[in-house]
Structure 1
Amino acid sequence: MSTNNNTSTDHVVDPKELQCQKQSQQVENQITTTTMNNDNTPIRMLSYVSTAISNRMPSISYFNHSLSLPRFPELKESEQFHLNKKYDLLTESQKILLVEEAKELYQKNHSTWYVFNEPIESDDNIKNNMEREANKDNTIHTNTNTNYFAVYGTKSYDCPIQVPLDKSIQVFINELNKRPTSTTSLYLNHTVILPGETVKSFYHEQSVWSKIATGFRKHYNFENERHLYLKKNAANTCISNDNSNFANSGEKKIKKRKKLLVISIVGNLPESYMLKTVASLPQSYELSDNFNKALLENNSNLLISNISITSPLDSIDSNTCFKEVKLIMDKHANNFADIDGLFFIGYYHSVPLLFQTAYYIFNNFYIGQAKLPPSLGIWGIESCLSNQTLFEHSSDNDTNKKLWQNCTKQQQENITSIHKFASSKDFLSIVDWILYHTNTKITLSCKLYDNFMTIGQKLAINLKHPNIIRNVWVDLQYYNTPYRWPRQYKDLSLIEDPSGVKVDVPLPIKRVFEISLINDLILSLNLGYYNEAAPLLHVISPFFISRSFNKNTIPNVLKKQLDKDFKDWLNKVDKEHTDWKAIQSLNKFLFSHNDNRDDDDDDDDGVVQTSANNLTNLYDLLQFLEYIKYHRQIELKSEIYHDEKMYTMFLENTFFTGNLIDKKKLEILNYPPTQNIFVNTLQYKVVWDLHEYLSEFIKFKSLPIEEEDLVNGQYSLSSQFISTKHNTDCGYNIVSKYSSQTGFERNTIEAKYRVNKLWQEYWGWDPPIKGLKLLKSIFSIFEMYKSGEELIDDITFE
């Protein structure tokens, strides 16, 4: 109950509380008196002091028993903050105030923040690039950009904070978070990309007769242009400085450097939810920076701008987040003028927001106002383009409760609404508009092995359009039991490389079948055979789900066993390699150079060099890496967003593919919700869809020739994101027959060969996880045939 003077009857006023009120009243009276007695006093002084009080003493509360001291020194009137100033024109006191305000709101994760740069084109930069090309310098170059950091809702939004030139964005952000910066980071990859590491492995140039046939089909309203074609001469050209798709360089005089703009968006997630789903999240500036390196590796004469946004999609509703992103885009509207390429990159739940942003930019900065850039690309990594489903092949029934454990109700509602929006008509209309009104190439990439979402969900296989290209990233490290690497790895010698080491590793025969099957299905989708391949891929996707593919969701029984194995392995290594404990630095480990190494570190690396000389095979290398990783002396980067091949693939998908002759609308394919794999009706459907797919697959006439039967993976370890030398003998060995200028023959020989090979690989298939074991038992229909030829004859007769 309250009295007329608004003082609660059940609250005893603390004397210190009254003292605080009196001090605040005295400050206000003094300001008012000063303003009334001096007509020349700027009115903004009142607002400045009021703002300064709130900014400097946020911990002052009428319910606290003590007052905290101001965090910032008093600013003179001449040092008052002006939003129209640039950061380098501010005083040191103003810079401190600006940074601290942005830091406070940034750490709360309730506001959009972003990093951007302003590349400066100069004659010296052009000259240096030309000299590097003439000297064929193999080092990795980056743009001489000035990076800026801004938080929406703070003064830094109007006056962005300039990141010191001697600091990377990563170091700057780590300092804001008060996180230590890792001393050594190595890129470790053991991956295969399906259906190929390059778009040239499954597309070809369109012949004159094909163009005529396309016009004929269009005239009679027949289906035409199932898939994209390579640009002219793209099949025989690597991405290099003399590629017509990029800026010409070398001895030629450069009048204008090609300007590219990269926009990346990543959303926040509750930590507990993130660990149980995607396991880790990239930083938005990390996606942009990696793609920049891929671009500059192929042509250092590019002028690249970046806008890297991190959105609080977990704590704020998506509509509000989109409004903030739109304001950021409006603020940087000048960046969209006169550019030669525009790229969008998003991860998981930020992909729907990424499409909204692209739609907004196209409509507000180009359509009806300016010409669209010739190269447009959208890349969705691990996209949530369907309703959310968490699969667990266990006896647990209430998996949804575990998923949202330690999450607030608001966070659950926000994330769930994103998944619902991704499958709504509003979102699909946005994708349809982008594909119909622009020549945007959409690349969707995902992991093959997951504990959370299926391949079909992440690749949105219900969306049919030639401009959508799909790729699957296969992490081959799942093929080995932790700390129990195959003994034959001792026979695999390390291949020295200027940027690291590489080792070609044949895949285990017992896992080749599943890779070949997924490869053929993704290849079929990219070639436009949606109706034939999508139904089978949709029903078998859940079988690739397992909790063991995420270290944070491993079943307790398995986790205990792995922990015991690790302790036994660690004790064994400590006894066999006593010198590893003395390692202090890894700067010279296996690398002839390291750009981050200081010259005065040479004396500290003697032990490392001695140890490294003993690492001559893959088995010892993996043991050493796991050992030093355990002692937190190294950070191994091996996620999908760390793989340089993925960025190069996105680059090629955008630059090397031509535009459609005729505009096409997005076609939506309807599939029933994915059922539990243990339901009998689903298992019968798998058998039926497999038969239907193979019956159609043997009729395909546009498949690339698979010259190698053996599938090879590769372990690569590098101190840099980009390897300066690429080994073309690794990866899924698919060589396109369309790489020659003589053309190709349209027949079904390759299709029948692949079906026969599938039958052969089935007999060696022995997967370890529950879902794939069940899938193998369902695929036992292969055992009905004595040979692959008999299988082909049976489905051909149909």
Structure 2
Amino acid sequence: MTELSEGHNQREGWVGWWSSKKKQGPSDSIPNEQATNNNNNASNENGSISLQDDDNVSREEENGADQAQGWYSSIVSKIPSIPFVRSRTECFVIDSNARYSQLNDPQAEYLEVEAKEGIVRRSTSWCWYEDLTEITAESSTWGDRPGVLSVYDTGSAHCPLPLPHYPISSSHPGYHVYIKNSLILPSDSPLETLHEQSLLSKMATEVKNYYNFPNEKHLYLKKITSGLLTGKKVVVISLMGTLPEKYEKFSLGGQRSAHYLATKLALSLQREAPSKILSLSFQCPLDNKDLLVVFQECVELLKNWEHVLHDADAIFVESVYHAVPLSILLTKHILERHEYFHLRPSIPVGILAIESPLQGYRFWDHSVDSSNSSEQDYYKIQQAREKQLFQGASKIEREILSKVRNYRKLDSEESKLLQKNLNWLLINWNSFRLNLFGKLFDNFMTASQKLAIDYTHPKIFRNLWCDGRYMGIDTRLPEELQLPDAHIKTPEYEHSLLVPANRRFEITLMNNILLALNLGNTNFVPIFKLISPFFISRSFNENTISPNLRKTTQQELKVWTQEMEARYKVLSTPEATSDELPEEVSSVHKFLQFSHYQNVKNPGVMTLYCEIYDDDCVYKTFIENTIKTRSLLNKKRLILLDDHSAPQSILNTVNQYDLVWRFHECLSDYMKLRNLPRQVYPPSLFLVISLDRWCWKPIESAPASFSRDNKEALIRLKQLWESYQNWNPPTRGLKQLRNILSVLSLYSEASELLQDIERK
């Protein structure tokens, strides 16, 4: 495709980089894969849109229309030279049993045009098949690889269409710089939080099960945790649902394509040395069609790829937001017919659910929250925020997407359908795992909602992704970080950074509670629900930031950009055969500054990737949770807690008193926990800079050590008290939480706190 070939011209060594940055301006279209990449700067507000200021919304859209295009909105321009099917006078009838090799040239052309038009219309599901066994780490080549396309309600639905390239080209053909600046709670590997089950524990489990006593609250590690996929056939199924442009920006900030997710997961799977990695990437119109209708479309498309699933040794399914329910339905459909698909009933199957809506959503706006808000005020706020969320959406989109909210009610039709299918997977497939992943710092859904905290089962793993940008670790200003300014010849660098002392408490608190939940201690669900809303802030999404803060940060960005322009306007040109960085940017600090500068000024030349979808540790965690944990000794059903601890207002006095007492009760219960894993403290994140490459922690996760008593629990409570003394968060919600938990400041030493809790 022309866009891809143009991208290659920019990639001829470093010389092409420096020369192209002077010729090429900002890209005029942003695909969905990269819509949220230009945000790794201190302001995070460049070209942002505020939910609270409609005038600003329209003005920003007029000024930045070219850069605000969604993934599909730029596709029409990406399919030149071939007229759309609707303008053709010829009509070709392709038999349902026809094969592509049997078609003549006009029929093949018609099939391709019809399929691409179906993609542009966004009204039907489509699937891209690709063999990712030999995928390389360079993301610039991902769109160049051949595959097979099948679009529902077109000829390709029953006659799959081979293509030399992925059907949608990237509108960022330049350099892709990955900056991993994040932390995963409670750990990025089950090896650090779980252990093998002893023979005595197995015997006790069987006895408890016989007498119907609670048992097996969590999973255990397998005895052998290496080489589990070596020489095996692995199938990756990724699903992504479309969203209206503003809805996507105001809720998720942005998405990636299903193809991108599949490729990232395949790269991580290569560490396990499988013999084959085959992928099926589904893009689905979940914003304008009912879930069950889309599900049937995917089932029909799947008929073309039955042979791909035959004799698979592992299946990994991944999805984002409203595609998560679809992934559960489709996985159940496949496993329920495992004999038809030639699948052994013992193969590991996992679902990665990123930003899942399994417990729906409700809106939090601490800026208009008040201590005496009535029930009527609460519903007015909800209606106003939902109206903003659906700005620009059609009637059918509003009808379909409003159903996502219904997952909050466990007795709703939507939730019951989900529960039924998930329960089947948990009961009938021993090696099934569900891994829920969500961002801790968010503007839309709370951690308890996206992690579906009311869904209880040992085979459900929960992880939180903590963005370093929202913990005061701004890589745009590296001189302010404890980051060595090491000399680098190429953009490859790794370093551990401690979480700043003034933000350590919130990370320690959520880590301790989430660890307890993953170990099956459901008595910590209420406190998790009460605390989660305090991590909501409009400033945690560049598209929803308040107008005043946006104005301030944009001014700061303008000053910084002018300074960088003066510094990096002229760069020396290395030799044509050299792949080393020019001297002016050959240190860690200088390269970070230059990368952010180029990302702002010339995103078509260089784009930064730093979101949850780009973090390879997310996929590493998912893989290890799926294949390295042992199945339960006895089948267990899904349990729904239906806990109502979440408050309507974080400023309500009654809710605050309730939180204080619940927190005290939480500390008392935590003190009694035994056999907790020892984890490194203070917490640190692993900073990685890489160009067009994936990254993995260089040191494999070491097995955790455990003590049979509550010694580790006491150590964690001491660390919690110590970290509170320096806690100074920036957002209104977290400041309010600090004030509510000020009871911790009443103790002069941690030992006094422990004594007080012990007397309870």
Q: Which residue of 2 aligns with 1:277?
A: 251
Alignment of 1:33-52 (within 5 A): none
| Residue deviations 1:501-558 (CA, integer Å, cap 9, x gap) | 1232222100011001111111001111112x11111011010000001110010000
Q: 2:629 aligns with which of 643, 649, 657?
A: 657
Q: Which residue of 1 aligns with 2:512?
A: 520
Q: 2:118 aligns with which of 100, 105, 111?
A: 105
What TM-score, normalized by structure 2, do the two folds share? 0.81
CA contact (8 A) 1:451 1:547 kept: yes
Does residue 246 of the first structure (1) align with residue 229 of the second (2)? yes
Does residue 399 of the first structure (1) align with residue 391 of the second (2)? no
Deviates more, 1:382-391 or 1:360-369: 360-369
Distance 1:142 1:553 in 2: 32
Q: 1:623 to 1:578 in 2, by over 3 A?
A: same
Q: Which amino acid in structure 1 is aligned with residue 510 of structure 2?
A: I
Distance 1:418 1:149 in 2: 29
Give 3-state SS (helix, strand or coil) of 1:332's partner: helix
Q: Which amino acid in structure 2 is aligned with residue 726 of structure 1?
A: K
Distance 2:682 2:471 in 1: 16
CA contact (8 A) 1:119 1:145 kept: no
Q: 1:639 aligns with which of 607, 611, 626?
A: 611
Q: Which residue of 2 aligns with 1:288?
A: 262
Distance 1:491 1:57 in 2: 53
Q: 1:347 to 1:275 in 2, by over 3 A?
A: same
Q: Which residue of 2 aligns with 1:623?
A: 593
Q: Which residue of 1 aligns with 2:712?
A: 750
CA contact (8 A) 1:284 1:308 kept: yes
Shift of 1:84: 3.8
Does residue 699 of the first structure (1) align with residue 694 of the second (2)? no
Q: Which residue of 1 aligns with 2:663?
A: 690
CA contact (8 A) 2:122 2:285 kept: yes
Distance 2:213 2:505 in 1: 36
Distance 2:85 2:126 in 1: 21
Does residue 352 of the first structure (1) align with residue 347 of the second (2)? no
Q: Highest Rg: 1 or 2? A: 1
Shift of 1:369: 8.3
Give 3-state SS (helix, strand or coil) of 1:378's partner: strand
Does residue 194 of the first structure (1) align with residue 177 of the second (2)? no
Q: 1:508 aligns with which of 483, 497, 500?
A: 500
CA contact (8 A) 1:642 1:721 kept: no
Does residue 552 of the first structure (1) align with residue 543 of the second (2)? yes
Distance 2:418 2:489 in 1: 46
Distance 2:678 2:704 in 1: 6
Shift of 1:727: 3.4
Q: Which residue of 1 aligns with 2:744?
A: 782
Aligned residue-pair number: 656
Distance 2:203 2:144 in 1: 48
Deviates more, 1:382-391 or 1:488-497: 488-497
Q: 1:444 to 1:379 in 2, by over 3 A?
A: same
| Residue deviations 1:443-467 (CA, integer Å, cap 9, x gap) | 1110110000000000001111100
CA contact (8 A) 1:349 1:419 kept: no
Give 3-state SS (helix, strand or coil) of 2:302's partner: helix
Q: 1:540 aligns with which of 507, 515, 531?
A: 531
Shift of 1:270: 0.3
CA contact (8 A) 1:342 1:377 kept: yes
CA contact (8 A) 1:142 1:293 kept: no
Distance 1:205 1:792 in 2: 31
Deviates more, 1:632-641 or 1:489-498: 489-498
CA contact (8 A) 1:579 1:611 kept: no
Does residue 476 of the first structure (1) align with residue 468 of the second (2)? yes
Alignment of 1:172-571 (within 5 A): 172-174=167-169, 180-234=171-225, 239=226, 243=227, 245-247=228-230, 257-299=231-273, 301-366=274-339, 371-395=344-368, 397=381, 398-421=384-407, 423=410, 424-439=415-430, 440-480=432-472, 485=477, 487-489=479-481, 492-494=484-486, 500-531=492-523, 533-571=524-562
| Residue deviations 1:452-495 (CA, integer Å, cap 9, x gap) | 00000000011111000111111111233868736443861337
Shift of 1:745: 3.5
Distance 1:107 1:142 in 2: 21
Shift of 1:414: 0.3
CA contact (8 A) 1:143 1:303 kept: no
Structure 1 gaps of 5+ residues are 1-54, 60-69, 130-136, 248-256, 589-601, 739-743
What TM-score, normalized by structure 1, do the two folds share? 0.77
| Residue deviations 1:241-296 (CA, integer Å, cap 9, x gap) | xx2x122xxxxxxxxx4112111111000001101110111111111111111111
Higher RCO (CA 8 Å, separation ≥ 6 residues): 2
Give 3-state SS (helix, strand or coil) of 1:678's partner: coil
Q: 1:535 to 1:315 in 2, by over 3 A?
A: same
Does residue 728 of the first structure (1) align with residue 721 of the second (2)? no
Shift of 1:145: 8.4
Distance 2:491 2:423 in 1: 43
| Residue deviations 1:198-243 (CA, integer Å, cap 9, x gap) | 1100000011111111122112221111110000033xxxx5xxx2
Shift of 1:497: 9.1
Distance 1:607 1:304 in 2: 33
Give 3-state SS (helix, strand or coil) of 1:262's partner: strand
CA contact (8 A) 2:84 2:114 kept: no
Give 3-state SS (helix, strand or coil) of 1:660's partner: coil
CA contact (8 A) 1:388 1:416 kept: no
CA contact (8 A) 2:84 2:113 kept: no
Distance 1:629 1:71 in 2: 42
| Residue deviations 1:656-690 (CA, integer Å, cap 9, x gap) | 00010011111111122541212222212211211
Q: 1:460 to 1:95 in 2, by over 3 A?
A: same
Q: 1:484 to 1:500 in 2, by over 3 A?
A: closer
Q: Which amino acid in structure 1 is aligned with residue 150 of structure 2?
A: A
| Residue deviations 1:727-774 (CA, integer Å, cap 9, x gap) | 339xxxx96543xxxxx5410110001001100100000000000000
Distance 1:514 1:494 in 2: 31
Give 3-state SS (helix, strand or coil) of 1:287's partner: helix
Alignment of 1:735-774 (within 5 A): 736-738=703-705, 744-774=706-736
Q: 1:571 to 1:722 in 2, by over 3 A?
A: closer
| Residue deviations 1:28-65 (CA, integer Å, cap 9, x gap) | xxxxxxxxxxxxxxxxxxxxxxxxxxx98876xxxxxx
Q: Which residue of 1 aligns with 2:56?
A: none
Q: Which residue of 2 aligns with 1:577?
A: 568
Distance 2:144 2:222 in 1: 31
Distance 1:315 1:680 in 2: 42
Q: 1:700 to 1:327 in 2, by over 3 A?
A: same
CA contact (8 A) 2:473 2:481 kept: no
Q: 1:575 to 1:118 in 2, by over 3 A?
A: closer
CA contact (8 A) 2:261 2:318 kept: yes
Distance 1:268 1:399 in 2: 21
Identity %: 31
Deviates more, 1:212-221 or 1:469-478: 212-221
CA contact (8 A) 1:342 1:373 kept: no
Shift of 1:652: 0.3
Alignment of 1:164-175 (within 5 A): 164=164, 167=165, 169=166, 172-174=167-169
CA contact (8 A) 2:312 2:343 kept: no
